Amino acid sequence: MKIVYADKASGIIDKLCSKSFEIPFGKDLGPSLRITECGEAENINLQLSGEKYSALYNGIMLEAEYLPNDESFVLKINVTNTSDTDFAPDSLDLILGVDTYMTGATEDNVKFFPTMLRCEKTHFHGYFMSPEGNSFAIASPDKIASYTLEYGRTTTEGENEAEYGHRIHTATLSLLHKAPLPERHPEGIDVLKSGESKEFNVYLIPLCSVDEYAGRVSDICGIPVITSDLYTYPKNSDIQLKVHSKEGYSITYLAPDGQVMTVPQMTEYGVYTVRVTTDSGRVSEAKFYCRRSWEWYLKQARLEAMQKPQKATTHAESWYGFFSAFLAAKHYPEAELDAALSSHFDEVIPLMFDLDKAEPLVAPNRIQNTSTLISALIDKYEVCPEENKKYLRIASVFGDWLMTRQKDDGGYYKNNTLYTCVIYIAKSMLELCEAEKEAGMLDEYTRHYLSASRAIEQLAEKLEDIQTEGEQTFEDGMISCSALQLGMYALTLPKNKRKSFVDAAIHMDKLHACLEQKLVPDCRINGASIRFWEAQYDIMFNKNFVCSPHGWSAWTAYAKYYLYLLTGKEQYLKELFNVLGACVQLMSLDGNLRWSFANDPHIKGERLVPDTERPVKDGYTSVKLENSAYRGRYTETVVGEEYMDMVSGWYRTGEQRLTGGYIGCPLIFPDKLDYSADVQGGACDNDVHEIFKCLEETVLKKAFVIERECGEIAAYNCDAVLNNDVVEISFYEEADYLHTSFKSTRMIRVGEYTYEAPQGSCMTRIK
C-alpha cells in the first residue's frame, strides 16, 4: 500500500492507496495518540525522528512506525513506561483517522463506515466498508483493550452548522483502558507498570471482497476467526460454524447456563457460547441463539404493549405498540386483553388526530406520523373486518390527506425535504391499497395505488440521492426503507414489469451492506442494522452508541424478505432469519421487552432513571397498571455490550396525557407556535414494536423451502426431506403458507395434502 501524507513530519495521513481503491483519512485526524486521565483528554503530538514518530508524555515514551507492504499497512505502536510509577490512565487511544464522516451526499459512496470492530481475549479484528462495496480489514494479533467511535457533536457553538450526532468522524482503538469492559475483552490491559513496554501491531488489509475477510485476517495475523451462515435456530438444532485458523484448535460449547456441552445441540432456549482455542493459546468467541416460537414473541409483545403503555405525543414511535396489539389479536385473540388495548387506542389516537376531519392535530409536518397511523388503522380493521370497517374508511381519508404532501415529482415531502423513506410512507400507502382492494373500495384503491406508484418510481430514479429526517448522512433508515419499498412495490407488478424496481432494490440493498452486522459472530447482533443516535430520543441517554438491534433494524428484514420473494436467492433468506433472530432477543425469555442492544464496549453518560420521589398518576383511563409511574432524573452510568431497558414502563405522561415525544421536545400545533408544557413523560422507545410488525408479515405462520444450485433442498421454519422425488414437509410450528423456490416443478407433501409446486418462486396457502 502507498501512503499519501497530509503532514509527514507529524505522521498525519491524507490517504492510503491500495491497488484497487483509496482509503481517505479525515483532515488532521490521524493516525494519532490520545491519553485520557481523570476524564480529561490530551492529544499527543508525535514528531518524525528517523524512521519512527515519537513523543514523551510524563515519563511515557510513545513510538509509532508505519510499515506498508503489498498486502497491508501495518501501524506499529510501542509504549514504554520510563517513570517510577505505574501508568493507569482512563485510556490510551490510537485514533485511526480513517474518514467515516458522511454527509448524505453521493460522494459518501467512497468513504468507509466502521462496520465491525471486535475485541477478543487475545487479539482484535474487524472491517470497514464503503457504500460502493470496497472494504478493508483491521486486525491485530495483540491484545487491544477496547475501541471507541468518534461521534459527531450534539451541540452547536457560534456559527457552526448544527450537528445532532448523526455522523461519525473516525474510529479509535484503546491500547489501554480502565474497567469496566465486556467479559470477552482482554484482561490486565488497563495499566503499564513502571519499566514495562507493550507493543501493538495494527494491520489494515485491503479486501477484494468482504467475503474473503475471515480467511485473509486469519492468514495475515495468525488469529482464529469464526463464521456461520445462521446464528439463530429453533430448538434441537445443531450449532453450525466454520473456524478459519492457520493452526490447530479445539472447540468448547457452553449452554445458556454456562455448563460445558458434550454435543453442539440446542436442547433449551437461550444463548449458547462457542469458544475456539488454538494450539498457541489464541481464543475467539461466538454466540448462537435458540429461539422460542415466533408466536410466543408476538403474544408477549402484545402484553408488553400494555405493560409499557402507548402515549399520545408528537412522535409515532411513542405508540408503535398498537401494531403488536392488533396483529396478536388478529392471530391469537384474547378477549379481555384485546378489548383493553383497543380502548387504549381509541383514547390515545384522538388526542393527536382529528378522526372526523382526517388530519393531524399535532406535529402535522411529521408526515410519517400520519402514514404510521394509516398502517395501524389497517391492522385494527383486520382484527375483525366486519366490525371495524370504520377504521379502514378513516385510513382511506388519511391516505387522501397524505397525498396533499406529495409533490409533482412523486415524492412525499416535509416542506422541501423528501420524506418518502422516513419510516416508509409509500409502504403504508401500499398496505392501505391492499386492504381497500380486498374490501371492494376500488376507487380509493386506484387513487392511492397511483400515488404510491409515483413515489416509488421516484425512488427507482433517485436511488441513493435521497434525504432523511434531521441531520443528512448516509443513513440506515433512508437506504433500507428505499430498498424495502422498491421491493414491496415490485411484488405488486406483473413479473414482466418488475425488473427496474428489483434492480433498484438490489442496488440499495448492496449500498446498505456497510451498515449491516453481517459478519459479527454474535447472535445478539448479527444481521442488525447500525444506528447510533437514537438513545437521546428513545430512552433519554445523553451519549451516542451503536444501538443494534433497534426497532428500525426491522426495515432491513422487510427488504431481505421482499428480495427473497423476488429473486429466490437463499442469501436474502439467511439474512432475514439472522436479523429477525437478533431482533426478537430484545424480548428476554422471561418476557421483558428491552429497547435495544448497546454494542459499544464502554459508554459513560447521563441516563434517565425513575425519580421515586416524584410519582405521577396515569391520566389514561384505559391504563391500569400495578407498576408505578414516575418523573425521571439523570444519573451518570457506564454501560457496554448489554441490553438497554425501555423507560415507558415507569416513565409516563401523567395527567397531562399529551406531551412532546421526548425530554425537550415541545408540543407542536398547526395553528400556534411550539408550546412547551410539561415535556416529561414522552418517550420514543415503543418503536421496538416495529420488530413484531415485521415478524408477523415475514415469518409468522410461514415456512420456506428452497432448492440450491447443487440440487440440495434447504428449509427454514420447517424440515424438508426429498423422498422418491416428493419433498415431504414437517413444520416446527403452526404454518398457513409455504413458500417454495425450485429449479423445476416439484411434488410437495404436507401431512395428507399433496400438491405440485411450480418452477420458480411461489407462495402457497396450505391452510
pLDDT digits (tens, 9 = 90+) for 510-523: 999 999 999 999 99
In this structure, the answer to whether residues 124 and 51 fall within a common structural domain is: yes
CA-based nearest residue to 143, from 105, 100, 187: 187
How high is the pLDDT of residue 671? 66
Q: Is the pLDDT of residue 491 over 90?
A: yes
In this structure, the answer to whether residues 212 and 134 fall within a common structural domain is: yes
CATH classification of the domain holding 203:
2.70.98
Residue range(s) defining the domain that contains residue 134: 2-223
How high is the pLDDT of residue 664? 85
Each residue's pLDDT tens digit, 438-478: 999 999 999 999 999 999 999 999 999 999 998 899 999 99
Helix (H, G, I), strand (E, B) or coil at 430: helix
Helix (H, G, I), strand (E, B) or coil at 689: helix
DSSP 8-state symbol, 31: S
**C-alpha triplet 159, 162, 165: angle, nearest 5°:** 140
How high is the pLDDT of residue 675? 57
Q: Grid coordinates in use for 34?
A: 490520545
In this structure, the answer to whether residues 510 and 456 fall within a common structural domain is: yes
* Residues in contact with 419: Cβ distance below 8 Å, sequence separation at least 6, in sequence order: 367, 368, 405, 411, 412, 413, 425, 467, 469
Give the strand pairing for 32-37 and 91-95. antiparallel
When pLDDT is averaged across residues 112-130 and rounded to a whole number, the result is: 98
How high is the pLDDT of residue 398? 98
Asked whether residue 82 is assigned to any structural domain, the reply reads: yes
Each residue's pLDDT tens digit, 709-756: 998 999 999 999 999 899 999 999 999 999 999 999 999 999 888 999
Per the prediction, the chain carries an average pLDDT of: 95
Asked whether residue 522 is assigned to any structural domain, the reply reads: yes
In this structure, the answer to whether residues 686 and 742 fall within a common structural domain is: no
Q: Grid coordinates in use for 532?
A: 447510533
In this structure, the answer to whether residues 433 and 561 fall within a common structural domain is: yes
Residue that finishes a domain, picked among 290, 307, 333: 290
How high is the pLDDT of residue 204? 98
CA-based nearest residue to 207, from 125, 147, 141: 125
CATH classification of the domain holding 605:
1.50.10.20
650 — pLDDT class (breaks 50, 70, 90): very high
Radius of gyration of the chain (CA): 27
Asked whether residue 350 is assigned to any structural domain, the reply reads: yes
Asked whether residue 228 is assigned to any structural domain, the reply reads: no
Each residue's pLDDT tens digit, 5-43: 999 999 999 999 999 999 999 988 889 999 999 999 999
Asked whether residue 229 is assigned to any structural domain, the reply reads: no
When pLDDT is averaged across residues 268-273 and rounded to a whole number, the result is: 98
When pLDDT is averaged across residues 585-589 and rounded to a whole number, the result is: 98
In this structure, the answer to whether residues 390 and 368 fall within a common structural domain is: yes
Residue that finishes a domain, picked among 290, 308, 337: 290
CA-based nearest residue to 681, from 629, 755, 730: 629
Question: Using CA atoms, how far apart are residues 667 and 269, in angstroms rounded to an integer?
Answer: 44
In this structure, the answer to whether residues 708 and 694 fall within a common structural domain is: no
Number of domains in the chain: 4
In this structure, the answer to whether residues 298 and 243 fall within a common structural domain is: no
Query: Percent of the chain, pLDDT > 70?
Result: 98
Asked whether residue 402 is assigned to any structural domain, the reply reads: yes
In this structure, the answer to whether residues 406 and 267 fall within a common structural domain is: no
How high is the pLDDT of residue 154? 56
How high is the pLDDT of residue 158? 45
Matching residue, cell 501501524: 75
Q: Is the pLDDT of residue 156 over 50?
A: no
Helix (H, G, I), strand (E, B) or coil at 53: strand
In this structure, the answer to whether residues 641 and 734 fall within a common structural domain is: no
Asked whether residue 594 is assigned to any structural domain, the reply reads: yes
In this structure, the answer to whether residues 171 and 241 fall within a common structural domain is: no
Asked whether residue 434 is assigned to any structural domain, the reply reads: yes
Question: Using CA atoms, how far apart are residues 661 and 645, in angstroms rounded to an integer?
Answer: 18
When pLDDT is averaged across residues 373-380 and rounded to a whole number, the result is: 98
When pLDDT is averaged across residues 266-292 and rounded to a whole number, the result is: 98
> Each residue of 108-123: b (16+ CB within 10 Å) or e?
bbebbbbbbbbbbbbb
How high is the pLDDT of residue 159? 45
In this structure, the answer to whether residues 444 and 552 fall within a common structural domain is: yes
Residue that finishes a domain, picked among 668, 698, 728: 698
When pLDDT is averaged across residues 430-442 and rounded to a whole number, the result is: 98
Question: Using CA atoms, how far apart are residues 630 and 58, in angstroms rounded to an integer?
Answer: 48
Give CA separation, 99 vs 26, 115, 167, in Å. Answer: 4, 13, 11
pTM exceeds cut of 0.85 = yes
Query: Percent of the chain, pLDDT > 90?
Result: 91
Helix (H, G, I), strand (E, B) or coil at 442: helix
